Amino acid sequence: MRLASLDGVPVARAEGERGPWRSLAGLVGSRGGSGPGLDAVIESWAQLGPTIVAELDDQTPVEAAGVWGPPLSRPGKIVGAPVNYLDHGAEMAMTHTVEELGFFLKAPSSVIGPGGSVVLPDPTVRTDQEAELAVVISRRARRVSPELALSHVLGYTCLLDITQRGSQERSMRKSYDTFTPMGPWITTTDEIPDPGVLSLRCWVDGLLRQDATTADLIVGVPELVARISAVMTLEPGDVIATGTPAGVGPLAPGQRVAVEIQGLGRLEVDVTGAGQ
Ligand code: MN
């Protein structure tokens, strides 16, 4: 199944490209107007998920022509894995990887959706695109084993971990407003049984910058969930940014960034400077 936010309404589509997008408003207690968004649906996935799966085909079809929001507009937390591909470590001349570095937090307020604009606060400071596979948590995870980790995962989406270069803390350089584009939808784990075999590509102004496979992750998704949950409880709606492969590079106002991950669609955003 694919889960998305369309004009602020949670919508879903059955497996793959089969059938139309359908509104979940009738299943989640919304009676028009501003019902619960997709964030609330995901936070209550343990209760709502089985009903949504069973009754999706009976819900009202919707035109996929509105404004797509991020699948999560305010994740509880965004946990990032630094240097989780060896080739990216090499291009950044990093002598340590995720194995020694652990992980970092990104501000949830940095999320934007498909078609949004990444705003560079200071275009004279190098700011890079980092295309990443993102993991969305469905069920509370605390000290889970790698073997059980994927049973706590709802699905996956495309994410851009926009990053200012510099000597400041990662959590600051990556947390400017608009620095975490996500979407266009979440593909659930029934369609992606193994997140370690997905092709990932990223273009800036149509030029291919990143072309990789998640098979090259140093610490794969199950082990990442296990390691993070050994430190902090993961809650439904939390997001893990799994790290970026080689090919990061500076962004400039006026550019357009696109990410495609196998089975997860295409996320596109543009880049502007502050005050534009
Ligand atoms: Mn990153």
Question: Cα of 187 to ligand 1 centre, how many Å?
Answer: 21
Q: How far is the CA of 18 from the centre of ligand 1 (A)?
A: 33
pLDDT tops 60 at residue 34 = no
Average pLDDT, the chain: 94
Share of the chain above pLDDT 90, in %: 84
How far apart CA 198 and CA 192 sit, in angstroms, is: 9
Work out the average pLDDT over 233-242: 98
CA 239 to chain CA centroid, nearest Å: 7
pLDDT at 212 over 50: yes
pLDDT surpasses 80 at 85? yes
Residue 60 DSSP symbol: P
CA of 157 relative to ligand 1 center, distance in Å? 14
Q: Is the pTM of this model over 0.85?
A: yes
Q: Tell me how far the alpha carbon of residue 47 lies from the centroid of ligand 1, in angstroms.
A: 32
Does 66 score more than 90 pLDDT?
Answer: no
Q: Which residue, 103, 3, 111, 109, is CA-closest to 48? A: 3
Question: Which whole-number Å values give the CA distances from 126 to 88, 173, 209, in the listed order?
Answer: 17, 11, 16
Neighbours of 136 (CB within 10 A): 26
Would you say residue 33 has pLDDT above 80?
Answer: no
Report CA(53)–ligand 1 centroid distance (Å): 32
E-state strands within the chain:
2-6, 9-13, 22-23, 68-69, 78-80, 104-106, 111-112, 117-120, 127-128, 131-137, 153-160, 163-164, 180-188, 199-204, 207-213, 239-241, 256-261, 265-273
83 alpha carbon to ligand 1 midpoint, in Å?
7
Mind listing the pLDDT tens digit for each residue in 138-151?
Answer: 999 999 999 999 99
Q: For a pLDDT cut of 70, what percent of the chain falls above it?
A: 97
Q: Is the pLDDT of residue 31 over 50?
A: no
Instruction: Note the pLDDT of residue 220.
Output: 97
Ligand 1: centre distance to CA 104 (Å): 10
39 CA distance to ligand 1 middle (Å): 23
The pLDDT tens digits for 47-59 are 999 999 999 999 9
pLDDT band per the 50, 70, 90 thresholds, residue 30 = low
The pLDDT tens digits for 35-49 are 678 999 999 999 999
- The alpha carbon of 32 and the centre of ligand 1 are apart by a number of angstroms equal to 38
The reported pLDDT for the residue numbered 56 is 93
Separation of 244 CA from ligand 1 center, angstroms?
A: 5
- DSSP secondary structure code for residue 258 in this structure: E
